[in-house]
Amino acid sequence: MRSFLSERQKDRVATVLIRTGGLLVILVVVAIVVNIGSEALPLFARATTGPVERMAWSPAALLAGSDARRELVWTLGADGRVVFDDPNTADLVIHNSALVAADQEIHGLISILGGDGTAMVGRLRFSDSWVGDRRTTGARWRASTDELVLNAGDWVGVTANGDEDGNVVLAARDGGGRLDLWSWDADDETWQRVPASELITNVAEVAVAEGLEALAVIDTTGALRLFRLPSLETVDVVGVEGPMAAARFLIGGGSLAVAGRDGSVGVLLEIPRVKVLNNGSQALRVEGLTVGPDEAVLVADNEVGSKLAARSEIVLESAPSRWRQVRDLAGITGVPTVIAPEDRRRGFAVATSDGSVALYYSTSARRLFEDRWTTAAVTSLTVDPKGDGAVVVAGGEVLRRSIENPHPEISLRTLFLPVWYEGYAAPRFVWQSTGGSDAFEPKLSLWPLIFGTLKATLYAMLFSVPLALMAAVYVSQLAPTWLQSTVKPTIELMAAVPSVVVGFLAALWLAPRLESALLAVSLAAVGLPLVVILSLAGWRVIPAPLRRRLPDGAELLVLLAAGAAVVAAAAALAGPVEVRLFGGDFQRYLFTEWGLRYDQRNAIVVGLGLGFAIIPVIFTIAEDACSAVPRALVNASRALGATRWQTALKLVVPAASPGLFAAVMLGLGRAVGETMIVLMAAGNTPVLDLSLFNGMRTMSAAIAVEIPEAPVGGTLFRVLFLTGILLFAFTMVLTTAADLVGSYLRKRYARF
């Protein structure tokens, strides 16, 4: 059947189809990248606020707040009544006498102080009731403690906090700066006065940490002092400058937000310490720390202490922690009057005497917004339970405002620079997305994932590149025909093995066997390269007439025999060497003497497993590149007297270098993007350590593991999308570099 199109028309149609297909591919890739980027971009948005809503309340309001759904606004007045803005919600009477002070802490814990010298702690509980399809929200007061009768005095301020067991510490202060500190035992349901609290004088502000382990006091001069509870032992405070106006512990009790009288804002962290005792006769040095004989040193880094603890002559003792100001945040206009922490995150709001309110986040050290809500001084400030709004009392008015602040913990600094987290002695790169308590502080530094990706790629390339390239050159130029026809299909068949199978074998078969034969493998790894070099040198020593009489491929048999001998010798010597030199336990010796902890799933296992998957990619392309060198050039080289080895090294390798480089870069790209092997064999430990004996977590593995559990639209969800963007960008950089270097090599060796 004759075609209705001419040859020229067919060419035009084919050209249009090819160009359209290529353009569609590019557009699809761009659309994917844009979609991934659109999911990650909201991470860096600033907090936004709604309009200020003014509500008519009595000027005698001491405290105000909202329920979790932001449907009810309540105020606690000086008359001891809680009044709601919804007429369908009945008012509550929580104290029979007039109140002189009230305070709200984390998780809605309210402390009240009556004019008759009584104090109480409790919470407002909200519940729903339904009449048909109409929902009504009700409220009730739930006392956490019995009523406490304070000693006689002119009491003017109160605050309290609790722990997860229901215990409470209440601190009251009078007009003369005297402090009265009481502890509520939830088991015995009794109040007990904290001994020696009367010795703390000139108190202007006081705060109790959640968990009841610390007490912060600002005296009348603005000096900040911290004490341990219940002993009231003084705690060292470092880095605090200038007179303070307000202080408040954040969720968990390990962070303290402070505001200076000049409007400065900062965050203090509790720094753990241990005492290292050297009972040995020699000085020891670990990671820059020197401990002399019979010497005791305070160590602020628990990781260093744990490495020292493995030595028999070292004794570790607990040492008092200290508090240090580690973050200086952007200041606020006016003199700070109130600090209000969030219930679920390490965010906090600061209000001032001129009506300004600013929102901060401790981990990211960000000031998320600052705005002036009113012209009057703010006397009470409460962040809504979900952190999506705030309520203030100022000048007889109650003001509320919505806040859109979904990702305050993220900034370029927290993603790519070391961050000082609670419980750490110094800034660190840490990836730890989930924890076991509500007070957990997410740690989402991307450097451990980037480092893990590079580490896995490095060890895989160190294992695979030399083997694949040397095998490609040997098979294409030096191996006999029968060996070529066997080796090439076999290696290419390796590419058909699913990566999940490789990861499974590496994790469950290779890893335990490598652990049990670690010293033998180490000896073989050192001996094999030496034997290869010596075998090749010995082969060259054999007279040429004798070498010519040997069959093709005899040099490979010599290498294999020498390698087998080395492996056998390493297996035989490993036991005696381990007993003689390493006390019978090579792994323990590595840990006690070098601080190297051996994990079963480590970089060696990943390098072998991932290298196994990369070798076919590199070998196939490299062998094709070497075979593509014109035989006329090879024959000319041999005709001029060059040996096969000289021809391969001096002619074939330079001429095929663009292809060899492309093979390496494609293998590198495969290693960077590999998921299943590193997911199963790497141990998924996001640590920054180049050691062969521990694992890592790669970017692709982190995405695969955590994206199913990440709440859609949440911070972790968007950080994982950002990780995908970085992975794509890294691949793009590698591809571009490969193209540029390949073009350079093609131009340089064009004469071949």
Q: What is the dihedral of CA 686, 687, 691, 696, to 10 degrees?
A: 0
Instruction: Give burial (CB, 10 Å; 0-12/13-18/19+) of 709.
Output: exposed
In the predicted model, is pLDDT for residue 175 greater than 70?
yes
Of 524, 474, 367, 446, which is closest to residue 725 (Cα–Cα)?
446
In CATH, the architecture of 449-512+599-748 is Orthogonal Bundle (1.10)
Strands 99-104 and 314-329, how do they pair? unpaired
What CATH class is the domain 48-264+331-404?
mainly beta
Residue 392 CB coordination number (10 Å) = 25
Burial track 627-644 (b if 16+ CB lie within 10 A, e otherwise): bebeeeebeebeeeebee
Mean pLDDT to the nearest integer, 430-454: 88
pLDDT, residue 306, reads 57
Distance from C-alpha of 340 to C-alpha of 105, rounded to nearest angstrom: 8
pLDDT, residue 635, reads 84
Element (H, E) at 389: strand 389-394
DSSP state of 291: E
Q: Which residue has the higher pLDDT, 183 or 315?
A: 183
Q: What are 225's strand-pairing partners?
A: 217
Find the range with the poorest average confidence among 163-167, 205-209, 549-553, 742-746: 549-553
SS3 155: strand
pLDDT tens-digit readout, 578-598: 888 887 888 888 877 777 788
Please give the share of the chain, as a percent, with pLDDT higher than 70: 92
User: Please, are residues 177 and 203 in contact by the beta-carbon 8 Å criterion?
Assistant: yes
Domain residues of the chain, as ranges? 7-44, 48-264+331-404, 269-320, 416-445, 449-512+599-748
In the predicted model, is pLDDT for residue 310 greater than 60?
no
Find where tokens 């960008």 sit.
729
Q: Which two tokens stand for residue 717?
A: 């969800």
Mean pLDDT to the nearest integer, 119-148: 87
Q: Measure CA 431 to chain center.
A: 2
Mean pLDDT to the nearest integer, 494-508: 88
pLDDT, residue 246, reads 94
Distance from C-alpha of 232 to C-alpha of 387, rounded to nearest angstrom: 33
User: Please, are residues 420 and 426 in contact by the beta-carbon 8 Å criterion?
Assistant: yes
SS3 445: coil
pLDDT, residue 414, reads 93
Strands 224-228 and 214-219, how do they pair? antiparallel
Q: What is the dihedral of CA 234, 237, 241, 242, to 10 degrees?
A: -20
pLDDT tens-digit readout, 615-663: 999 999 998 888 888 888 888 888 888 878 888 888 888 888 888 888 8
| CA dist 627 → 441, 475, 481, 648 (Å) | 57, 9, 13, 11
SS3 712: coil
In the predicted model, is pLDDT for residue 356 greater than 90?
yes
Of 188, 122, 190, which is closest to residue 158 (Cα–Cα)?
122
Counting DSSP H helices and E strands in the chain, the numbers are 19, 36
pLDDT, residue 307, reads 59
Question: Which alpha helices (H) appear in 474-585, and where do they start and end?
Answer: 481-494, 499-505, 511-516, 518-541, 544-549, 554-581
In the predicted model, is pLDDT for residue 540 greater than 50?
yes
Of 692, 513, 672, which is closest to residue 599 (Cα–Cα)?
692
Write phi, then psi, for 482 (nearest 5 degrees).
-65, -35
Q: Which two tokens stand for residue 166?
A: 């229901």
Contacts 24+ apart (CB under 8 A), 491-498: 491/615, 491/616, 491/619, 491/620, 492/616, 492/619, 492/620, 493/616, 494/612, 494/613, 494/615, 494/616, 495/616, 495/617, 495/620, 497/612, 497/613, 498/676
Distance from C-alpha of 369 to C-alpha of 391, rounded to nearest angstrom: 16
Q: How sure is the predictor about 1, in pLDDT bands with cuts at 50, 70 and 90? A: very low
Q: How sure is the predictor about 223, in pLDDT bands with cuts at 50, 70 and 90? A: very high
Q: How sure is the predictor about 529, in pLDDT bands with cuts at 50, 70 and 90? A: confident
Q: How sure is the predictor about 313, in pLDDT bands with cuts at 50, 70 and 90? A: low
Of 737, 565, 574, 592, which is closest to residue 666 (Cα–Cα)?
737
User: Please, are residues 685 and 695 in contact by the beta-carbon 8 Å criterion?
Assistant: yes
Find the range with the poorest average confidence among 50-54, 197-201, 368-372, 472-476: 197-201
pLDDT tens-digit readout, 678-709: 888 888 888 888 888 888 899 999 999 999 88
DSSP state of 585: -
Mean pLDDT to the nearest integer, 527-535: 83
User: Please, are residues 382 and 63 in contact by the beta-carbon 8 Å criterion?
Assistant: yes
Strands 73-77 and 81-84, how do they pair? antiparallel
Length of the chain: 752
Distance from C-alpha of 153 to C-alpha of 627, rounded to nearest angstrom: 97
pLDDT, residue 142, reads 92
Of 239, 289, 233, which is closest to residue 264 (Cα–Cα)?
239
pLDDT, residue 350, reads 96
User: Please, are residues 364 and 411 in contact by the beta-carbon 8 Å criterion?
Assistant: yes
User: Please, are residues 84 and 74 in contact by the beta-carbon 8 Å criterion?
Assistant: yes
pLDDT, residue 341, reads 95
